[in-house]
Chain A
Amino acid sequence: MKYSAERVVLVSLLLVLASGLAVHGALCVVADDASAKISEAGVALRRAFAAVLEAEGAGANVSGLVVELGLAGENLTFAQNAYGSGDFVEAVARADRCVVLASEVAGEASGLKSSALAGAKDAEWRLLAFSGVGVLVFLLVLVLAWAAFRRSYSRRLLGMRPEVGSDVEA
């Protein structure tokens, strides 16, 4: 009977120890996961911003994307704070949300950049055409005006009558 009780105590101790180790291991894994997710979110945020910057450089209006980036950044801040206070589940959830938002922003920025580049090319051609045609029409009008002016000037010159002056005193 005594032998059996010792065995029960021993098994119980082993079970407690094993469950403690399992919980500790699980917590370590969760903490590592959260840390990895936060790093991933940071990278996603930087990439999304770089994409937005490219779109802006191409002439796209990125106001909406900048607001969305702000939301993604907020989520990353919350994730870091949750991680610091040991709330790894919340940290992972916030980091995931940041990654999703950042990916959406990066995709939209890419589309905006393409359409902005195409639009900029069209606008460039329109500008060049306007300038070219404008300069040609202006020069043509100026040449015609010069020809008309010269004719009128010659007519006025030929129509002048010579005046005879006299120095004879009365």
Chain B
Amino acid sequence: MLRLEDFRVVFVAVGLVGVLLFASPSLGLVLHFPAGERFSELWILGPGHMAEDYPYSVKAGVDYLVYVGVGNHMGSSVYYGVCVKFRSQSEPLPNATAGSASPLVPLYEYRVFVEDGRSWEAPLTFSFAYVSQNATYCLVRGISVNGVAFEIDKATSWDAENEGFFYGLFVELWIYNVASDSLQYHDRYVSRWLSMTIA
């Protein structure tokens, strides 16, 4: 038969566990556990909302459609800027090492507000105008993004290795920083190659 002291130890243990259980809701007010990793997602999907059938071989006068999306896992609501840019093969992309945005001027800018754990997606339509080519040189002088026309002057040379006149359509993700009261480049971009052809 167990001694009385042994039962006392059992009672004390049960008492401690019970006190912790009843106090746990209040302990939650004081103890803060570290949050998980915080990050944002940025993507471009094809016309069928899938990562396939992206426009690649493009020409003037045709409307192309992709979807651009953002996912927020930053722990709170976030104000994002999604900048759509267009470049010739020789113009710079964002610098992933330095974490700086491309110096190119954005053609179109989405202003997006996303709650934590939610995502946002919107169509991005584009078309080209005034495209001229010869054997070694291609010039694009007009682009329309979401129905808004822009005059551009993007020239590129023939890429003998990949056999085409290549341009890049890319989107950069910017995030609003409350402390500095400004949108800052969020070190994320997605780019698609476009091979320009003449109809």
Contact = CB atoms under 8 A, between A and B. Distances in A.
Contacts of A62: 77, 115
Interface stretch (A14-22, A28-36, A43-51, A161-169): A43-51
Contact of B15 (A46, A85, A139): A139
Contact of B77 (A52, A127, A128): A52
Nearest to B146: A81
B33 interface: no
Interface size class of B (residues with CB under 8 A): 20 to 34
Interface string B104-132: 00001111111100001000000000000
Contact of A50 (B7, B8, B178): B178
B137 to A, nearest CB: 28
Contact of A53 (B19, B108, B148, B178): B178
Contact of A66 (B11, B110, B113): B113
B109 A77 contact: yes
A84 interface: yes
Given A138-B22, A150-B4, A80 B109 contact: yes
A122 interface: no
A46 B176 contact: yes
B99 to A, nearest CB: 22
Given A66-B115, A69-B113, A84-B150, A131 B77 contact: no
Interface size class of A (residues with CB under 8 A): 35 or more
Nearest to A43: B181
A131 B20 CA distance: 10
B77 A45 contact: no
B149 A85 contact: yes
B23 A73 contact: no
Contact of B23 (A45, A135, A145): A135
Contacts of A128: 26, 29
Nearest to A63: B115
A139 B22 CA distance: 11
Interface string B173-197: 0001010010000000000000000
Contacts of B11: 142, 145-146, 149
B14 A142 contact: yes
Interface of A: 45-46, 49-50, 52-53, 56-57, 62-63, 66, 69-70, 73-74, 76-77, 80-81, 84-85, 124, 127-128, 130-132, 134-135, 138-139, 142, 145-146, 149-150, 153
Interface of B: 4, 7-8, 11, 14-15, 18-19, 22-26, 29, 76-77, 79, 108-115, 120, 148-150, 176, 178, 181
30 contacts: A45-B111, A46-B181, A52-B77, A52-B113, A53-B76, A53-B178, A56-B76, A57-B76, A66-B77, A66-B115, A73-B79, A73-B111, A77-B109, A80-B109, A84-B148, A84-B150, A85-B148, A127-B25, A127-B26, A127-B29, A130-B25, A131-B24, A132-B26, A134-B23, A138-B18, A138-B22, A139-B18, A145-B11, A146-B8, A153-B7
